[in-house]
Each structure stands twice: as structure tokens, then as C-alpha cells.
Chains A and B, each alone.
Chain A
Amino acid sequence: MNMQKEWPLWEVFIRSKQGLDHKHVGSLHAADAEMAIQNARDVYTRRMEGVSIWVVESKHIHASNPDEAEAFFDPANDKVYRHPTFYEVPAEIKNM
């Protein structure tokens, strides 16, 4: 059997309470998903920090390249008209 030495790395996401998104909290090593969830409970929720846990093997995460962040996010940068403050509303107009 092909025996790798180190357990794979998993990224851990926790929903702190119902109604909120799962948020990345860190990573850990585990042999499989079930163990990753149990380890995540012990490592990241010892004080009721969560009601739900997601784990994803780190190798499955694809990320944008920070070196290209400027060019990559540039299209959003010059479109001020996407924000409500771009528009002038007369002082008499209420509730807008």
C-alpha cells in the first residue's frame, strides 16, 4: 500500500451560530473527513464557538493570485456609479 507519512491537511470552516456564514478558522491534519470534523471540534470549538463545521481538504482549495490582485480586482475599482453615494438626491427627498 502506498503509505504517505503525514496525514493530509484540512481547512476548517465554522458557523458560530444559526443565521451566520461558515467562516475559515484555520487548518489541521486528519486521516479522513470524519476525523477532520472530530478534530476540528476539539481544536476549534472548545468554548462553544460553533454550531456547524465544514472541512475541506486543503489541496481542493483554488485561490486567486495575490500578485495579480491589483489587475484582477481593477474592473470594480472605477465604477463609482455602482454605489448609492454617486447619485445626488435633493435634501427635500426623504426615505431614499
Chain B
Amino acid sequence: METIVEKSLEEQFEEKIANEIRIEPKDWMPDQYRKTLIRQISQHAHSEIVGMLPEGNWITRAPSLKRKAILLSKVQDEAGHGLYLYSAAETLGASRDQMIADLHSGKAKYSSIFNYPTLSWADIGAIGWLVDGAAIMNQVPLCRTSYGPYARAMVRVCKEESFHQRQGFEIMMTLCNGAPAQKKMAQEAFNRWWWPTLMMFGPKDEESPNTEQSMRWKIKRFTNDELRQRFVDMMVPQAEFLGLTVPDPDLKWNETKNGYDFGEVNWEEFWNVVKGNGPCNKDRIQTRVKAHEEGAWVREAALAHAQKRAQREAQKQEK
């Protein structure tokens, strides 16, 4: 009897997916769908939170008050994006404390791009332009992902993300139009960030175990390789406009496919950083854990204060 009911629930679910009807928190869903989403959304949230670190360390060193205000605002947005996403993951039954514990223990992953260092101010430009550009490419299709709360969070994120990319492009443009030393800074930052940015789209399709199921459930709308190709096609003309050279000797326009051919990503480096051996993996998590631990007394005090106030309020009512 039970198996019949189960099957019909699964059929209803598949029907909704096929008809582009969003799945909402209390709807029945396969366990694996729930697990996949919790993993993806929490990793996405962690990426936003850890993403604040490489940029945060340039806030005090931004070259002008205007740049400082913009960067501060961008970093604040990243915190907001992390919070939208954590709250979307919580609608699936994940607990905030558990997600944060998993980030700190290294059990949960975040985007490897944030394990690279920001050596000069030009890196802040390159991050906005390239990294946020790649994030937009990944995130726009997620506005139509099959899980309602995730899709709605992504709509808000995408609205805010486009300022991030533009401010980065503007930093790059200013440097490229500046003194030769500034132009050199921009080129060096571009060289540092180009390949890691291409890695942001994830492993090659044939080595991405989750892609097929995620596409069937319409969590993902495009494969990693499709998005990577689009990104290259979009960015090369922008780099040319800036007068920057793409650090890829194999980059070549391919008339037949109406897109660029480009060199092979260094997958060994990619997997190495994923496994925790990138230049900043340890530093990022240490900084996160330190901030969390040093903030513990604030969280406890706020809760104690709220409880005391609630008690006082209750006593007043009794009188």
C-alpha cells in the first residue's frame, strides 16, 4: 500500500518538474533532490561568506574614499547574499548552525576561487569583472531553478550582482587608461585570475557526477562546459576593449562554432585547490572560525538580553 502512495507522490513531483511548476518547501520531494539542493545552496552560501575575505582585506587600502565606499557596499552585499541563501537552505530542513559547523570543519565546500590571494588593488578590479562576471553567468539560469526559495533568492542576488561586475570593470578600465605601471598591474591581475575564473564553472561535463541528475530535476539549466564557453565568448571582446591580452596561447576564434576555442584548464590545480591545498584555503577557514568564535559572546549576550526583556515583559503583564 505504502509503495503505491509513494509512487504517486513521486509522479506528482516529476509532473511538476516537467511542467515548470516550482517545488515549494512543504511539497513532497525525493530525498536525493533535497540533499542535492542543501549541498548546492549551502555551498553557494558559504562561497558568498568566504568571498568577503579576499576583498575585505582591501577595504582599508582602497585608493580613494569613493572606492572604499563602493567596496564596503559590495562586501556587505556578499554577506546579504550569503544570508538569503542560508535561509533558502533552511526551508529544506538544514540548520544554520550545522551548515556553519560544516564550513568550519571543512566538510562543506565553497567556491575554490576564494582560495587565491588578492595581491594588488588590480585584483579587486579583476575579481569584480571576472569572478562576479562568472558568478552572474552561473546565477542567471538559477533564477529559473526548480526549487522556489532558491530561485527567489537568486533573483535578488542577480539584481545586485551586476553592480559588482561593473565596478570591477571600471577599476580595470581606470588602470588600463592610466600610467604604464598601472596597465601592467591590470594585466598581471588578469593573468592571475583568468584561469581560476574558468575553473569556477566546475569540472568538465564528463567528470561532473552531479550534472546529469541536476539537469533532469531542472536544478541546473546548463552544463559546466556550456557556461564556460559562453563566459569565454563574452569576456574576450571585453578584454580586447581594455587592451589586455588573454593569457592563453590557444585562444582562437572558431568560425564554424561561432565561438572561441581555448586551451585546457589545469585540472590538476583545480582538484588540488578543491582538496584544500590552494594558496589560501587554511587562511580563509582560520579567519572565518576566528571571526565566528570571537563573535560568540555577542550572540550569547543578545539572546540573554532578549530573554531578560521577555521575562520583564511577562512580569509586567502579571501585575
Chain A residues, Cβ within 8 Å of B299: 7, 31
Contact with B84, one of A5, A9, A26 (Cβ below 8 angstroms): A26
Q: Give per-residue flags for B54-93: 1 if the beta carbon is below 8 A from chain A beta carbons, else 0.
A: 0000000000000000000000110010011001101100
Whether B96 and A6, one on each chain, are in contact in the complex, defined by CB atoms closer than 8 angstroms, is: yes
Identity of the chain B residue whose Cβ is nearest the Cβ of A26 in the assembled complex? B87
A-to-B contact residues, CB < 8 Å: 1, 3-7, 9, 26-29, 31-32, 35, 42-44, 46-47, 63, 65-67
Whether A3 and B77, one on each chain, are in contact in the complex, defined by CB atoms closer than 8 angstroms, is: no
Whether A31 and B305, one on each chain, are in contact in the complex, defined by CB atoms closer than 8 angstroms, is: yes
Distance from A38 Cβ to chain B, minimum over Cβ atoms (Å): 11
B-to-A contact residues, CB < 8 Å: 9, 24, 26-28, 76-77, 80, 83-84, 87-88, 90-91, 95-97, 149, 152-153, 160, 299-300, 302-307, 309-310
Whether B90 and A31, one on each chain, are in contact in the complex, defined by CB atoms closer than 8 angstroms, is: no
Whether B95 and A43, one on each chain, are in contact in the complex, defined by CB atoms closer than 8 angstroms, is: no
Chain A residues, Cβ within 8 Å of B310: 32
Distance from A57 Cβ to chain B, minimum over Cβ atoms (Å): 11
Contact with B303, one of A7, A65, A66 (Cβ below 8 angstroms): A7
Whether B307 and A1, one on each chain, are in contact in the complex, defined by CB atoms closer than 8 angstroms, is: yes
- The B contact surface, by secondary structure, is helix
CB-defined A-B contacts under 8 Å, sample of 5: A3-B303, A6-B95, A31-B303, A32-B306, A67-B28
Q: Determine the distance from Cα of A14 to Cα of B141 in the docked complex, in whole angstroms.
A: 26
Contact with B96, one of A29, A31, A32 (Cβ below 8 angstroms): A29
Chain B residues, Cβ within 8 Å of A65: 26
Whether A43 and B306, one on each chain, are in contact in the complex, defined by CB atoms closer than 8 angstroms, is: no
Contact with A5, one of B27, B97, B305, B309 (Cβ below 8 angstroms): B97
